[in-house]
């Protein structure tokens, strides 16, 4: 298949008929969620859709069937479906880097036909070939065939990476911990704060530790610095515990270090044997890479079977996004609801609230996925965005969030759309006396979206015996939009579906706004400046004086304190 090379110029969403109609509709929109549910008995059913195993209820959002029709018209006018098809076919929709965007190809099942060929590369063959090597390696570690240099079985796999080379793996590991092999754990080092490398290794035995250096570019300062620190720790530990000689160092690195990268030449230059390196390709964005070889730590600790199940879940959602009719296409509808909330209801943030302790890193993972993708003011043709774009994503697991920030969501002055995520079957069914604790937990999940949607009127507050000024304080306005996402259980497949759902939601929003969701130039300036500041931080007075007054003052403060400390 020959892929188109670049997308047409973005269509300004604000110039479409649908946009003008949405603006007028927003001004005319009357009623409340209470009224809409009362007058439209089909509302819950109308706005609830299934995508693979996910059951998604959009009915508690601030919209009517007309709103949804207009949003779907907007999607048609800006060409969301055409862009989706172009992405899946391998068009270079990452315009600033002139790259295809093919994370969905990472999870095509083995033997997919016809096979996907893009830019002269047989994508399926390469993806499956790499997975095969990753699984082979994982099996060796899991069975004990792969040992450390002293012959001891590997007990800990330390993944060193940052951003997409960390957040996806750590989030999935935390989410699927019950699938980890007994006696094998994962650790993650990301921050260049030396505390991270220290704290993550200080109780480990170098003889039973395997390190995966994960970096798409293999140039990232944090990752390479941490890799050198851990190599130092490992070799000096082995010298002490096993009398490792200088001649044996190379062998020790080969047995204890593997790498994942698109830049295999740089891996070799770092001293890691290319035999022990797993590749991926420039058409996989860092924040879309957890299902590539970047997931080697997952395939190793959770196992190839669980990893395959995860990929199958991703693929099920890809299929839904690629083929479901627009009116039932969940990623499309959720992306459009987000556009409605951001551009018409003026929401600035979006909470993601998993009612699952195992998903505690999911909001952090989504922050990179959504904000690095859509935090842009320039469109894919270089022109300025014509509307507000990416909202701030944040969140914490329920019920902890209920006792922290939900107050503001319930009664604050800002509109905060929120996604609530829950699973019918718990990973651990515990009882408190007669009480099934998961049921208590889910009662909270159901109660919160109900309270946010329908609130509590002054009359209802008074009817409970409250009077005077306290009435207003105890009143809840309701009409605070939420989406409920439920699934049977948090399995590898369901997790894959959930991640792919948010990938595609992000894509839909990006297309509506005319944004290239696949570059990240905004993180470059800080990186450049950090390098340039090194001499000043090291105390070069001339370099310090050349800085702006604030930066120079802060560096001087640091120097003084450091000398005293």
| Residues of this chain that bind ligand F6P (CB under 6 A) | 162-165, 215-217, 220, 223, 286-287, 372, 520, 523
Of 35, 489, 527, 541, which one is the catalytic site residue?
527
Cα 507 from Cα 374, distance rounded (Å): 9
Cα 411 from Cα 488, distance rounded (Å): 32
Query: Which helix (DSSP H) or strand (DSSP E) does residue 437 occupy?
Result: helix 437-454
Nearer to ligand F6P, 473 or 523 (CB): 523
Of 207, 308, 309, 372, which one is the catalytic site residue?
372
Nearer to ligand F6P, 380 or 445 (CB): 380
Nearer to ligand F6P, 215 or 300 (CB): 215
Instruction: Tell me whether residue 372 is one of the annotated catalytic residues.
Output: yes
Instruction: Tell me whether residue 83 is one of the annotated catalytic residues.
Output: no
- Shortest CB 421 distance to ligand F6P, Å: 23
Nearer to ligand F6P, 196 or 475 (CB): 196
- Shortest CB 167 distance to ligand F6P, Å: 8
The CA-atom distances, in angstroms, between 75 and each of 69, 486, 511, 541 are 10, 26, 9, 56
- Shortest CB 197 distance to ligand F6P, Å: 16
Nearest-CA neighbor of 534 among 555, 514, 554? 555
- Shortest CB 546 distance to ligand F6P, Å: 27
Rg, C-alpha atoms of the chain: 26
Cα 214 from Cα 166, distance rounded (Å): 8
Cα 138 from Cα 188, distance rounded (Å): 17
Nearer to ligand F6P, 168 or 237 (CB): 168
Cα 355 from Cα 426, distance rounded (Å): 10
- Shortest CB 307 distance to ligand F6P, Å: 19
- Shortest CB 337 distance to ligand F6P, Å: 26
Cα 531 from Cα 533, distance rounded (Å): 5
Nearer to ligand F6P, 472 or 523 (CB): 523
Which residues sit opposite 350 in a β-bridge?
Answer: 393
Cα 343 from Cα 235, distance rounded (Å): 55
Query: Which helix (DSSP H) or strand (DSSP E) does residue 492 occupy?
Result: helix 492-513
Nearer to ligand F6P, 293 or 347 (CB): 293
Which residues sit opposite 260 in a β-bridge?
Answer: 214, 278
Residue 519 — φ and ψ, nearest 5°? -115, 175
Of 30, 145, 403, 467, which one is the catalytic site residue?
403
Q: Which long-range contacts (CB under 8 A, 24 or more apart) does 16-21 make?
A: 16/73, 16/74, 16/77, 16/78, 17/73, 17/77, 18/70, 18/71, 18/73, 18/74, 18/76, 18/77, 19/74, 21/70, 21/73
Q: Which residues of 153-168 are buried (b: 16+ CB within 10 A; e: fewer)?
A: bbebbbbbbbbbbbbb
- Shortest CB 214 distance to ligand F6P, Å: 7
- Shortest CB 515 distance to ligand F6P, Å: 15
Residues 6+ apart with CB under 8 A from 437: 426, 430, 431
**What positions carry a catalytic annotation?**
372, 403, 527
């Amino acid at each position: 298949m020959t892929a188109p090379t670049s997308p047409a110029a973005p269509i300004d969403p604000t110039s479409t008929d649908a946009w003008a109609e949405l603006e007028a509709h927003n001004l005319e929109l009357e009623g409340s969620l209470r009224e809409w549910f009362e007058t439209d008995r089909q509302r819950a059913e109308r706005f609830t859709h299934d995508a693979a195993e996910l059951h998604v209820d959009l009915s508690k959002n601030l919209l009517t069937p007309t709103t949804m029709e207009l949003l779907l018209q907007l999607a048609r006018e800006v060409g969301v479906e055409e862009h989706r098809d172009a992405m899946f076919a391998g068009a270079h929709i990452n315009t600033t880097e002139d790259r295809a965007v093919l994370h969905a190809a990472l999870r095509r099942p083995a033997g997919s036909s016809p096979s996907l060929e893009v830019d002269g590369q047989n994508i399926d063959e390469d993806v499956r070939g790499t997975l095969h090597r990753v699984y082979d390696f994982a099996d060796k570690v899991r069975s004990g065939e792969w040992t450390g240099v002293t012959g001891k079985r590997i007990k800990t796999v330390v993944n060193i990476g940052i951003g997409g080379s960390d957040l996806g793996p750590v989030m999935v590991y935390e989410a699927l911990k019950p699938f980890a092999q007994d006696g094998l754990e994962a650790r993650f080092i990301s921050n260049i704060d030396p505390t991270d490398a220290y704290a993550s290794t200080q109780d480990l035995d170098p003889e039973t530790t395997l390190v995966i250096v994960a970096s798409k570019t293999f140039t990232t300062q944090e990752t390479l610095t941490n890799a050198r620190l851990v190599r130092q720790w490992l070799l000096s530990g082995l010298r002490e515990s096993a009398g490792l000689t200088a001649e044996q160092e190379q062998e020790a690195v080969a047995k204890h270090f593997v790498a994942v990268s698109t830049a295999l030449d740089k891996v070799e230059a770092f001293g890691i044997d290319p035999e022990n390196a797993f590749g991926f390709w420039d058409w996989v964005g860092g924040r879309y890479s957890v299902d590539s070889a970047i997931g080697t730590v997952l395939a190793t600790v959770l196992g190839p079977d669980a990893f395959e199940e995860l990929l199958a879940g991703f693929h099920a959602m890809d299929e839904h996004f690629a083929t479901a009719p627009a009116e039932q296409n969940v990623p499309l509808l959720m992306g459009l609801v987000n556009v409605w909330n951001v551009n018409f209801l003026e929401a600035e943030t979006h909470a993601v609230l998993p009612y699952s302790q195992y998903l505690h890193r999911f909001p952090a993972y989504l922050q990179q996925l959504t904000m690095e993708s859509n935090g842009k003011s320039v469109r894919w043709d270089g022109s300025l965005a014509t509307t507000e774009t990416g909202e701030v994503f944040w969140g914490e697991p329920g019920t902890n969030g209920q006792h922290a920030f939900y107050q503001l969501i319930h009664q604050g002055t800002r509109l905060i759309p929120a996604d609530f995520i829950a699973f019918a079957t718990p990973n651990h069914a515990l009882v408190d006396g007669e009480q099934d604790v998961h049921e208590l937990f889910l009662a909270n999940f159901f109660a919160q979206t109900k309270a946010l949607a329908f609130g509590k009127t002054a009359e209802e507050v008074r009817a409970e015996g409250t009077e005077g000024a306290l009435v207003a304080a105890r009143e809840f306005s309701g009409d605070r939009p939420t989406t409920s996402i439920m699934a049977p259980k948090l399995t590898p497949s369901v997790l894959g579906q959930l991640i792919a759902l948010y990938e595609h939601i992000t894509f839909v929003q990006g297309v509506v706004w005319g944004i290239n969701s696949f570059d990240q130039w905004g993180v470059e300036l800080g990186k450049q400046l950090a390098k340039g500041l090194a001499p000043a931080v090291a105390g070069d007075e001339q370099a310090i004086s050349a800085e702006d007054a604030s930066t120079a003052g802060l560096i001087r403060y640091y120097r003084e304190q450091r000398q005293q400390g």
